[in-house]
């Protein structure tokens, strides 16, 4: 029986070679299917969709596009986003290029291309950056993601937030290296946008992408893009990518004179054909781009920092993993939770804000005084060097005369009274004023009120406001801030054609000058008002 099986197998093999057999057997069909799957299917799968974009890097103008918005597999072009976030983290103090990164089992187990990192070993961040940018090492990319965000999943969330901030509307990232994963997609347009941001947002690191080889810590590595860099004049980056699902991808940049072009190609059939297509598109870009163009660099997105969900995930993951290095891990979690700088901000140079209760009480006092003044009838006014007011008797009300001596002057605790608009100040003598004033038709008493300022007729203005309320508030704030110089003065709001002036009256020239200088030193607008 065994001999018969062997003969049948040999017959099936002969049929495959010669094509001569009277009837097909099951083993022959299996062999044919296996050969087709092993040989023909991989070649058919390599026909990845093609997409391209040509952009003038100086202003972001699109020169050529084909399927540029189709969501495709980016492969290792993904590492441009990984490195962009690393540059951002270094610039904002999350981590430094000299930080020692411990390699996890997950990072060490990533498939090629890889640097050859061993789980448990440590390496400086700068060497991981070089390996990811130049050799396109997958283990280095995963180690970078874990060093920045604690886990690759948390780092992928940050990649997506950053992509949104950059305007990459057709990209979704699932990992840091670009190996094929469901939902891990981008487009030629998005990768061109990203390449332009890498160039202009972090120019201090851009030279990495033009190095033909470099020291990656544990060994020297060569650039995966060195063929195009050597073959095309002016080329200085940026990143290659290849997987079976993606095909041969490349985002390239070249500069000639004052012109700079960025090209993205997805779905090349080989390295040579991809490079030839990129060179063709580069030539197209340099032909169509104007020689002179105003540089308009892309707007750098705001620094978003690590998200709180990433910090929470880091805490949970580390609480489930026993380790003796507890202190270092706790410090790392705190760093991941920081969303903004702790640098203290300067205090605003503004006037002190009054408590609402005090402002309300003072407003009520002012309002009551205004109502009293508005209801009073003032008919005749004369004044001496000291202020003289003729107040008519309303409904036989008698106004008592104030003592003219300084010892009976009202104290500073007396609430100031807003002067009625009909009061007239004059420098005439009492006798001249009495002769000039007509005889009153009804009984009235002349009240002489000596100013608490001792004959002071100067004032200061602290601003013009759109409403009486705003002017009164400014007077109250200023009075509280400068009690020493404004004590005893009268607050007065004057309604003019251009607004409400906030004035302090009843000051000597020296006091008014001192008050203004002190207020101006506090950035408060102030000017003196003479006795005119």
Tokens linked to 442: 């009804």
Q: Which residues of 348-378 are buried (b: 16+ CB within 10 A; e: fewer)?
A: eeeeeeeeeeeeeebeeebeeebeebeeeee
The answer to whether 413 is a known catalytic residue is no
Q: Does the residue 222 lie in any domain?
A: yes
**Where is 49: in which H helix or E strand?**
none
Q: Tell whether 153 and 281 lie within a shared domain.
A: yes
Count CA atoms within 13 Å of residue 389 on its CB side. Answer: 18
Q: Does the residue 286 lie in any domain?
A: yes
Q: What is the mean pLDDT of residues 264-280?
A: 97
Average pLDDT over the chain reads 77
Q: How confident is the model at residue 11 (pLDDT cuts 50, 70, 90)?
A: low
Looking at the DSSP bridge assignments, the partners of residue 253 are: 237, 262
Count CA atoms within 13 Å of residue 330 on its CB side. Answer: 4
The answer to whether 136 is a known catalytic residue is yes
Residue 173's Cβ-count burial label (10 Å; 0-12, 13-18, 19+) is buried
Residue 514's Cβ-count burial label (10 Å; 0-12, 13-18, 19+) is middle
Phi, psi torsion values for 318, nearest 5 degrees: -75, -25
Q: How confident is the model at residue 510 (pLDDT cuts 50, 70, 90)?
A: confident
Closest CA to 210 of 199, 197, 194: 199
Q: Does the residue 324 lie in any domain?
A: yes
Q: Is the pLDDT of residue 446 over 60?
A: no
What was the pLDDT predicted at 514?
Answer: 87
CATH number at residue 483: 3.30.70.1070
Catalytic pick among 104, 136, 171, 453: 136
Q: Tell whether 55 and 41 lie within a shared domain.
A: no
What was the pLDDT predicted at 520?
Answer: 83
Residue 54's Cβ-count burial label (10 Å; 0-12, 13-18, 19+) is buried
Alpha-carbon distance values, 64 to 37, 186, 191, 293 (Å): 38, 18, 14, 18
Report pLDDT digits (tens) over 59-99: 999 999 999 999 999 999 999 999 999 999 999 999 999 99
Q: To the nearest whole percent, how much of the chain has pLDDT over 90? A: 49
Q: Is the pLDDT of residue 260 over 90?
A: yes
Q: How confident is the model at residue 27 (pLDDT cuts 50, 70, 90)?
A: low
Q: What is the mean pLDDT of residues 386-391?
A: 40
Q: How confident is the model at residue 339 (pLDDT cuts 50, 70, 90)?
A: very low
Q: Is the pLDDT of residue 33 over 70?
A: no
What was the pLDDT predicted at 367?
Answer: 64
Report pLDDT digits (tens) over 50-65: 999 999 999 999 999 9
Q: Does the residue 120 lie in any domain?
A: yes
**Measured between alpha carbons, how far is 56 from 285 in angstroms, rounded to an integer?**
7
DSSP state at residue 209: G
Alpha-carbon distance values, 486 to 324, 350, 474, 482 (Å): 68, 19, 14, 6
* 238: preceding bond cis by omega (within 30 degrees): yes
Q: Tell whether 253 and 126 lie within a shared domain.
A: yes
**For the chain, what is the radius of gyration of the CA atoms?**
43
- Give the E-state strand segments of 210-279 in sequence order: 213-215, 220-222, 235-243, 247-256, 259-268
Q: Does the residue 345 lie in any domain?
A: no
Q: Does the residue 367 lie in any domain?
A: yes
Q: Tell whether 202 and 297 lie within a shared domain.
A: yes
Q: Tell whether 268 and 324 lie within a shared domain.
A: no
Judge whether 129 and 101 are in contact, CB under 8 Å. no
| Better-scored residue on pLDDT, 373 or 306 | 306
**Measured between alpha carbons, how far is 250 from 271 in angstroms, rounded to an integer?**
9
Q: To the nearest whole percent, how much of the chain has pLDDT over 70? A: 63
Q: Tell whether 38 and 60 lie within a shared domain.
A: no
Q: Is the pLDDT of residue 373 over 70?
A: no
Q: What is the mean pLDDT of residues 186-196?
A: 98
Judge whether 166 and 242 are in contact, CB under 8 Å. no
Q: Is the pLDDT of residue 150 over 60?
A: yes
What was the pLDDT predicted at 429?
Answer: 43
Domain that holds residue 100: 51-303
Picking from 30, 45, 60, the residue at the C-terminal end of a domain is 45
Q: What is the mean pLDDT of residues 11-33?
A: 50
Largest separation between any pair of C-alpha atoms in the chain: 153
DSSP state at residue 465: E
Say if pTM beats, i.e. exceeds, 0.85.
Answer: no
Count CA atoms within 13 Å of residue 24 on its CB side. Answer: 9
| The total number of structural domains that make up the chain | 4
Q: Tell whether 248 and 311 lie within a shared domain.
A: no
Closest CA to 175 of 149, 199, 197: 149
Q: Does the residue 346 lie in any domain?
A: no
Q: Tell whether 329 and 364 lie within a shared domain.
A: no
Q: Tell whether 226 and 153 lie within a shared domain.
A: yes
What was the pLDDT predicted at 365?
Answer: 61
Q: Tell whether 128 and 7 lie within a shared domain.
A: no
Judge whether 238 and 198 are in contact, CB under 8 Å. yes
Q: Tell whether 377 and 439 lie within a shared domain.
A: yes
Cα-based angle 523, 529, 532 (whole degrees, multiple of 5): 175
What was the pLDDT predicted at 413?
Answer: 43
Q: Tell whether 268 and 335 lie within a shared domain.
A: no
Q: How confident is the model at residue 524 (pLDDT cuts 50, 70, 90)?
A: confident
Count CA atoms within 13 Å of residue 291 on its CB side. Answer: 1
What was the pLDDT predicted at 434?
Answer: 46
Q: Does the residue 161 lie in any domain?
A: yes
**Where is 472: in which H helix or E strand?**
helix 468-481
What was the pLDDT predicted at 369?
Answer: 53
The answer to whether 368 is a known catalytic residue is no
CB proximity list for 173: less than 8 A, separation 6 or greater: 78, 81, 156, 159, 160, 163, 184, 186
String of DSSP letters for 132-176: IIII--HHHHHHHHHHHHSSHHHHHHHHHHHHHHHT-TT-B-S-S
Instruction: Classify the C-alpha dihedral 419-425-431-433 as positive or negative.
Output: negative
**Where is 424: in which H helix or E strand?**
none
Closest CA to 78 of 190, 167, 199: 190
């Amino acid at each position: 029986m065994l001999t018969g099986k062997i003969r049948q197998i040999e017959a099936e093999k002969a049929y495959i070679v010669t094509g001569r057999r009277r009837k097909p057997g099951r083993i022959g069909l299996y062999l044919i299917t296996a050969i087709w799957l092993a040989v023909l299917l991989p070649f058919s799968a390599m026909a990845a969709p093609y997409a391209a974009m040509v952009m003038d890097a100086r202003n972001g103008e699109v020169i050529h596009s084909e399927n540029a918005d189709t969501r495709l597999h980016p492969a290792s072009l993904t590492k441009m986003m990984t490195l962009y976030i690393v540059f951002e983290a270094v610039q904002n103090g999350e981590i430094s290029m000299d930080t020692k990164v411990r390699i996890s089992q997950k990072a060490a187990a990533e498939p090629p291309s890889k640097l050859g990192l061993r789980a448990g070993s440590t390496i400086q961040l700068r060497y991981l950056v070089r390996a990811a940018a130049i050799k396109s090492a997958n283990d280095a990319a995963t180690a970078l993601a874990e060093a920045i965000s604690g886990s690759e999943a948390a780092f992928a969330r940050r990649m997506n937030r950053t992509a949104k901030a950059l305007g990459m509307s057709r990209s979704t990232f699932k990992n840091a290296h670009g190996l094929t994963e469901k939902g891990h997609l981008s487009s030629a347009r998005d990768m061109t946008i990203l390449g332009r941001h890498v160039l202009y947002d972090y120019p201090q690191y851009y030279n990495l992408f033009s190095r033909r080889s470099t020291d990656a810590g544990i060994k020297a590595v060569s650039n995966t893009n060195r063929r195009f860099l050597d073959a095309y004049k002016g080329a200085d980056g940026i990143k290659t990518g290849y997987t079976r699902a993606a095909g041969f991808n490349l985002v390239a940049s070249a500069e000639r004179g004052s012109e700079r072009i960025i090209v993205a190609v997805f779905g090349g059939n080989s390295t040579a054909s991809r490079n030839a297509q990129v060179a063709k598109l580069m030539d197209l870009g340099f032909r169509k781009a104007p020689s002179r163009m105003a540089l308009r660099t892309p707007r750098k997105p705001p620094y978003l920092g690590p998200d709180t969900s990433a910090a929470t995930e880091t805490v949970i993951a580390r609480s489930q993993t026993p380790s003796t290095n507890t202190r270092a891990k706790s410090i790392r979690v705190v760093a991941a939770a920081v969303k903004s700088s702790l640098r203290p901000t300067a205090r605003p140079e503004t006037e002190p804000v009054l408590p609402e209760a005090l402002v309300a009480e003072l407003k009520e006092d002012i309002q009551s005084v205004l109502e009293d003044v508005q209801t009073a009838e003032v008919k005749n006014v004369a004044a001496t060097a000291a202020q003289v007011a003729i107040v008519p008797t309303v409904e036989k009300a008698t106004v008592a005369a104030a003592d003219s001596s300084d010892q009976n002057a009202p104290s500073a605790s007396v609430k100031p009274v807003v002067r009625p608009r009909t009061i007239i100040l004059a420098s005439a003598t009492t006798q001249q004023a009495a002769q000039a004033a007509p005889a009153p038709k009804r009984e009235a008493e002349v009240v002489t009120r000596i100013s608490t300022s001792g004959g002071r007729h100067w004032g200061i203005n602290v601003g013009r406001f759109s409403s009486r309320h705003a002017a009164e508030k400014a007077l109250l704030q200023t009075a509280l801030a400068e009690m020493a110089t404004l004590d005893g003065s009268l607050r007065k709001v004057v309604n003019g054609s251009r607004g409400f002036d906030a004035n302090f009256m009843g000051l000597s020239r020296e006091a008014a000058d001192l008050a203004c200088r002190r207020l101006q030193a506090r950035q408060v607008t102030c000017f003196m008002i003479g006795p005119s």
